[in-house]
Structure 1
Amino acid sequence: MVTISLISVIANEVFHNNGEQMISAVIQQIVGEGIGTVSAYSEFWTPDDLKRIKYLDREKAFTKSEIFGGLLWTAVWGSVYFNASKLIRVYVKGVNGFEFSYPVFNEEVLHSYWPLVVLVMILEFAVAIFKWMKQQWTLAVAIFNLAVHTVSSVVLVVLLRNPNLFSEQFRLNMRDLRRSILTRDSGKLEFKAK
């Protein structure tokens, strides 16, 4: 209630300022009215009121940065996933710098799994919101977190088991690279009989 009152006082002063008042006068008006509004809504408390406050164990509590970091990580990996063919590429250096590149992943295959990936993203956002609401580890949070990570792992395994996940050019170049390494190393492994 106090926050809403303070926001309404600030909004009122910002929108009704006609430009004739100095900024310092506007700030003084906001602070003066804000303190008056806040103290009008404040109630006195007693030590018995502390019994109603929920105790948060510091070892079990979630930090805001942990929750925000989870949301940010989900947004980042989701963006990279849906733009992988443009972001994750192999660049080949030529005489004039990088002459051409090719994607590592097959875009059609990646996009064929979009419903599963969106499901995982929604579940991860839901876990972050659930953590924010509960504020600490509980059995319900742990079970929900386990379920989301299990679903994420299953989706990842399904995705990685697709033989067409990598682009054709990437697979051919990796095969050629493997052959060149094996033929180069096989020349070093000569044994001489005594």
Structure 2
Amino acid sequence: MDDDPSVLRGLTRMFQVEGYEVEGFSHPRQLLERGPGPRPGCVVMDLRMPELNGLELQAELGRAGWKQPLVFISGHGDIPAAVKAMKAGAVDFLSKPFSTEELLAAVERALERDRAASRAEQEHEALRSRFSTLSPREGQVCRLVARGMLNKQIAAELGTAEQTVRLQRSRVMEKLAVDSLADLVRLLERLDSQP
């Protein structure tokens, strides 16, 4: 994204020649209206643009739930702007003039970050899906087992028979496809560590 038509055309051509699928926007509102493209992806944008500067657009994208990483380019970049962009999650901040290699390397870092985030989201969704197969009582048993409680302790806690807890524990392990208490604990840690 760049409000200078010649820069926008040049960048679009360069990315196309390198084999990337590209959409060019000359105004921040166009990007906001378009929404995120297919993943993996990233946004390369100028710091100075009409109506919203790059930092303001970065904040708007964040509020809109945009997940694709950003690479800033600017002929007017200063250290405070670069620091602010990076603290807000930008992958890179390149000052013009920059080499094609520098820009392509920044874009590859951004794409790899997006690929990794996408894989983590898919893994988390798969974990949530497996966990959602548990009945409410199995979910309780699962959490208590993961805390290291014995079947008889769980039975006392839930006011049920130990044999019932043993059966529910077995179903939990089967539904979550785990073979040991350690695997169950790791699965729940991964599940709970994601937003």
TM-score class, shorter-chain normalisation, is: under 0.3
Determine which structure has the larger helix proportion and give its number.
1
**What TM-score results when the alignment is normalised by the length of structure 2?**
0.23
**What TM-score results when the alignment is normalised by the length of structure 1?**
0.24
Structure with higher RCO (Cα < 8 A, 6+ apart): 1
User: Which structure has the bigger radius of gyration?
Assistant: 1
